[in-house]
Amino acid sequence: MNIMLFHSTYGLRPAVRAAADRLSAAGHEVWTPDLFEGRTFETVEEGMAFNDGIGKDELLRRAVLAVAPYSDRGLVYGGFSLGASVAQTLALGDEKARGLLLLHGTSDIAASASVDELPVQLHVAEPDAFETDDWLSSWYLQMRRAGADVEIYRYAGAGHLYTDPDLPDYDAEAAEATWKVALGFLDSL
């Protein structure tokens, strides 16, 4: 599978590269575009401030440019938190998308979004201040209405970015469970 994996608001940190290595070791070809052009951040607030300075349109422009050389291959889009939001936006607009792997995040869905049974898997903490229960219920219904085939996995007690071993949110058990399920999902595509 060809996977485009987008980083979180912390930037292209070692955890994203480690995830790409894990996916590559499982036989997938993985790209990790650096939407922040080399900048990484120690706190979510710093990363969000930088992202706000770039703006959503510019961030998506950078993502589209990163994806363009590979989109004919039929990509699986994936991402962490902010990167999941970017991945979702691109996957819903790419008729050749093969799947969508969302880790720690989702995004708004355009009312006109339409896909043909796009396989989608979401992994989030429970609870998660960024992905509340009400939001996730609404998101799920909107994704189904758009035509996606959605699976949601919740991890009780884990922090928001629980797959990043360098952050306080890290939860080794939840992270390993996530990767086991996610690799199975990718193998099924």
Backbone φ, ψ for residue 187 (5° rounding)? -65, -25
Angle at 96 between CA 91 and CA 97, to 5 degrees: 35
- Of the pLDDT bands very low, low, confident and very high (cuts 50, 70, 90), residue 102 is very high
Give me the half-sphere count of Cα atoms (radius 13 Å) on the Cβ side of residue 160.
Answer: 16
For the segment 21-54, what is each residue's pLDDT rounded down to a tens digit?
Answer: 999 999 999 999 999 999 999 999 999 999 999 9
Residue 123 is predicted with a pLDDT of 98
In angstroms, the CA 117 to CA 160 distance is 28
CA distances from 7 to 150, 156, 176, 188 (A): 22, 23, 19, 24
134, two tokens: 């009400």
Residue 93 is predicted with a pLDDT of 94
Which 8-state DSSP code applies to residue 136?
H
Question: Would you give the distance in Å from CA 111 to the centre of its chain?
Answer: 21
Residue 140 is predicted with a pLDDT of 97
Residue 136 is predicted with a pLDDT of 96
Residue 13 is predicted with a pLDDT of 95
For the segment 157-166, what is each residue's pLDDT rounded down to a tens digit?
Answer: 999 999 999 9
In angstroms, the CA 5 to CA 34 distance is 10
SS3 of residue 181 by DSSP: helix
Share of the chain above pLDDT 90, in %: 99
Average pLDDT over the chain, rounded to whole?
A: 97
Residue 164 is predicted with a pLDDT of 97
What DSSP string runs through 48-103?
Answer: HHHHHHH-HHHHHHHHHHHHTTTGGG-EEEEEETHHHHHHHHHHHT-TT--EEEEE
In angstroms, the CA 98 to CA 103 distance is 17
Q: What is the helix (H) or strand (E) element at residue 124, kind and residue range?
A: strand 119-126
- Of the pLDDT bands very low, low, confident and very high (cuts 50, 70, 90), residue 113 is very high
